[in-house]
Amino acid sequence: MINAALQHAARQHDSHQAELFDFLRLPSISTDPAYAAPTAATADWLAERLTAAGLENVRVIPTARHPLVYADWLHAGPDAPTVLIYGHYDVQPADPLELWDTPPFEPQVRDDYVYARGAADDKGQVYIHVKAAEAYLRAAGRLPLNVKFLIEGEEEIGSANLRAFIPHNRDLLAADSALVSDSAILGPDRPALVYSLRGNCHVLLDITGPSRDLHSGTYGGSINNPLNALGHLLAKLKNEFGHVMIPGFYDRVRPLSLEERELLAQFPISETEWLAQTGAPALWGEPEYTLVERIGARPTLDVTGMWGGYIGEGSKTILPSAAHAKISMRLVPDQEPAEIAALFEQFVRDTLPPSVRATVRVGGGSRAALIDRDTPPMRAAAAAYETTFGRPPVFMREGGSIPVVTDFGDQLGLPTVLMGFGLPGDRIHSPNERFYLPNFHKGIETSIRYLALLAAQSAADPA
Ligand code: BES
Ligand code: MN
Ligand code: MN
Digits of tens for pLDDT over the chain (463 positions)?
999 999 999 999 999 999 999 999 999 999 999 999 999 999 999 999 999 999 999 999 999 999 999 999 999 998 999 999 999 999 999 999 999 999 999 999 999 999 999 999 999 999 999 999 999 999 999 999 999 999 999 999 999 999 999 999 999 999 999 999 999 999 999 999 999 999 999 999 999 999 999 999 999 999 999 999 999 999 999 999 999 999 999 999 999 999 989 988 888 788 998 999 899 999 999 999 999 999 989 999 999 999 999 999 999 999 999 999 999 999 999 999 999 999 999 999 999 999 999 999 998 899 999 999 999 999 999 999 999 999 999 999 999 999 999 999 999 999 999 999 999 999 999 999 999 999 999 999 999 999 999 999 987 654 4
**What does the alpha-carbon distance between residue 344 and residue 2 come to, in Å, rounded to a whole number?**
52
Give the residues surrounding ligand 1 with Cβ less than 6 Å away.
Answer: 121-122, 155-156, 158, 182-184, 200, 398, 400-403
Ligand 1: residue whose CA is nearest its atom 20: 401
Name the H helices within 279-375. Answer: 291-296, 337-351
Half-sphere exposure of 2 (CA within 13 A, CB side): 16
**Separation of 429 CA from ligand 2 center, angstroms?**
9
Cα angle 186-290-390, degrees, rounded to a multiple of 5: 20
Provide the H-helix boundaries in 303-436. Answer: 337-351, 376-389, 404-410
Q: How far is the CA of 106 from the centre of ligand 1 (A)?
A: 23
d(CA 188, CA 70): 31
Q: What is the pLDDT of residue 338?
A: 96
Cα separation, 22 vs 282, in Å, equals 39
From the CA of 86, the nearest ligand is 2
CATH 3.30.70.890 fits 199-253+299-366, yes or no: no
User: In what order do the strands lie in the sheet containing 434-436?
Assistant: 108-110, 113-115, 434-436
Rg from Cα positions in the chain: 24
Report helix, strand or coil for 372: coil
Reported pTM? 0.94
Q: Where in the chain is the domain with CATH 3.40.630.10?
A: 2-197+368-460
Cis before 334 (ω within 30):
yes
DSSP result, 18-56: HHHHHHHTS--BTT-GGGHHHHHHHHHHHHHHHHHTT-E
Protein residue with its CA nearest to atom 19 in ligand 1: 158
- pLDDT of 463 reads 46
Write out the residue limits of the CATH 3.30.70.360 domain(s) in the chain. Answer: 199-253+299-366
What kind of fold does domain 2-197+368-460 have according to CATH?
Answer: Aminopeptidase (3.40.630)
